[in-house]
Amino acid sequence: MTAAIRTREEYEREESERLAPYAVKSAESLGRVVDEAEHEYRTAFQRDRDRIVHSQAFRRLEYKTQVFIYHEGDHYRNRLTHTLETSQIARTIARALRVNEELAEAIALAHDLGHTPFGHAGERSLDLLLEKQGGFDHNRQSLRIVDLLEVRYPDFHGLNLTAETREGILKHGSDWEHPVPLPPPTPSPSIEAQTTDASDEVAYTNHDLDDGLRSGLLTLEMLDEVRIWRHARESVEERLGGAPARVLRAQTIVALMNHLVTDLIEASGRRLHQAGLDSVAEVRARSSSLIGFSQQAQEDKTDLKNFLHINLYSHPRVLQVSQRAQSILGGLFRAYREDPRKLPAHVVARFALEGEARAVGDYIAGMTDRFALAEHRRLLDSDELL
């Protein structure tokens, strides 16, 4: 083999030398539900990442709500942009902590595949509609998508991802049946999974704040009550005092995110050093997460999240959309249950396998915002808008 080409085996050897002892190594993966031959040039986690990016569920994230419905403006985040921001933060943290970047990235890219249309309002609606079947949880639905609902391969259902990526997607269980064996439960997941979970929180806290300002539901004056924002703004104005207002606002968001990511890396690094871990098994045996902020940053982040819950997520405009979203998904669920002929044949075919309610719930959960609105108009002759 020419020296210009790096094979999978060579990359795996590099990982074993470069990564920390508590990092998940590609060559030591616990494997897939269905055994497959390894790729010549891509590691197991690189293949997971690529399968996720090429899935239908990943493409649909572009038209799924983060906070603001897609037709409210072209510059608001959606589930896809949130996912990409999360994955980049996760890679930065994983690289700094010498854990597996590709695994962290794969988990990040898949973590919201199971989200419903209309964001958390849609999730609450489906949770109520499927209450007798164990409810609905978007983390479990994400795993359901990659284990069952994606149809791309002749020899297995889903994407047949590695156990480590599936572990990171699941986060925690729920009460409904899963079609394939779940990753073995442990007190804690891998460092890579913990990193992605923290990255998700950093991403949505910052971009929801940015979108809230863009929408006018939040103002700079309101935010000055929040210590972490005020300090970031003051530091930016000290450096760039003559810059246009929109630049100052954007750079304050950048400074805020940089502060949180830097603190997360440094505080987590100290915990990992003090723990003296020698293996992934020791990580999983711990009862608490090793990835987290310093005490001061945690308090500041909590204050900011509380501010967002009170002033953005609970704003009458956002709540009004949430109520309409629940009405739309409830109407679709009832219409399909009353007349299954309105469903695609592949959905009806799954009734005998997992029950009518769960199959209908899967179909609705996979919808984009605009498709759900179009179906509601078609089935219920409704012009209800969000």
Asked whether residue 373 is domain-assigned, the answer is no
CATH number of the domain where residue 71 is located:
1.10.3210.10
The answer to whether the CB of 87 falls within 8 A of the CB of 95 is: no
> What pTM value is reported for the model?
0.94
Give me the domain span that covers residue 207.
18-317
The answer to whether the CB of 260 falls within 8 A of the CB of 333 is: no
* Pairwise CA distance, residues 139 & 283, whole Å: 22
**Ordered per-residue pLDDT tens for the chain, 386 residues:** 557 899 999 999 999 999 999 999 999 999 999 999 999 999 999 999 999 999 999 999 998 877 766 556 567 778 999 999 999 999 999 999 999 999 999 999 999 999 999 988 899 999 999 999 999 999 999 999 999 999 999 999 999 999 999 999 987 666 677 888 888 889 999 999 999 999 999 999 999 899 889 889 999 999 999 999 999 999 999 999 889 989 999 999 999 999 999 999 999 999 999 999 999 999 999 999 999 999 999 999 999 999 999 999 888 888 888 888 889 999 999 999 999 999 999 999 999 988 999 999 999 999 999 999 999 999 987 555 55
Asked whether residue 12 is domain-assigned, the answer is no
* Pairwise CA distance, residues 192 & 196, whole Å: 6
Q: Which two tokens stand for residue 79?
A: 């589930």
Q: Rg (Cα) of the chain, in Å, rounded? A: 22
Q: Is 383 helix (H, G, I), strand (E, B) or coil?
A: coil
Please choose, from the candidates 179, 114, 119, 164, the residue with its C-alpha nearest in 3D space to the C-alpha of residue 140: 114
C-alpha distances in angstroms, 241 versus 122, 232, 238, 251?
42, 13, 6, 11
Please choose, from the candidates 384, 383, 380, the residue with its C-alpha nearest in 3D space to the C-alpha of residue 325: 384
Asked whether residue 186 is domain-assigned, the answer is yes
* Pairwise CA distance, residues 285 & 278, whole Å: 12
When divided into structural domains, the chain yields a total of 1
